[in-house]
Amino acid sequence: MAEHFTAVIYKTGVNGCIDVPVAVSGKMKPRKGYIKVRGQINGFGFTTNLVPVRNGQYRLFVNLKMLKGAHTAIGGAANFSIEQDLEKIEKVYLMSAYLHEQLTAHHLLNDFNSLTDGRRKNILKYLAGIKKEETVKKNIAKLITQLTNKEKNVRIPWTDYK
């Protein structure tokens, strides 16, 4: 549910921003410190992160596009409506049946599950994006080899993208 409030946009450094009331940000769940939100400033839509600053306070940076879209400026008051963007909190990548079958056949399912959450997510994300079945199988074979060799850091070049 969207929270509504009015705030004066001020400048910190070279950036325009507002301090989100604690009563609003306190109802939201941070992820790695930040809170992903979507909302409106004077009716102009945006998506951004609330950035933690101090004492439970969060800051919302107001960029030039937002200022122009909202027909406001630094020093002016604006009406805000924000809600946590739950769709962006966690994207889950499922393990394919073939990967599960190969890990189980090679007795490596526990080894795969013992990888860091980030590494597992990167591997599953990459494999989910491959269109050709033969390429998927080739990359799963690389993963199986690395897990079989008990490599300390399963570091597959194709999972190191951002």
Note the pLDDT tens digit of each residue in 36-48.
Answer: 999 999 999 999 9
Whole-Å CA distances, 130 to 49, 59, 72, 111, 138: 30, 38, 45, 23, 11
Count of domains observed in the chain = 2
* Shared-domain flag, residues 111 and 73: no
* Shared-domain flag, residues 83 and 138: no
* Shared-domain flag, residues 12 and 84: yes
**Angle of CA points 86, 89, 93, to nearest 5°:** 115
Q: Digits of tens for pLDDT over the chain (162 positions)?
A: 889 999 999 999 999 999 999 999 989 988 888 999 999 999 999 999 999 998 879 999 999 999 999 999 999 999 999 999 887 555 678 888 899 999 999 999 998 988 888 888 888 888 888 889 998 899 899 889 888 888 766 655 544 444
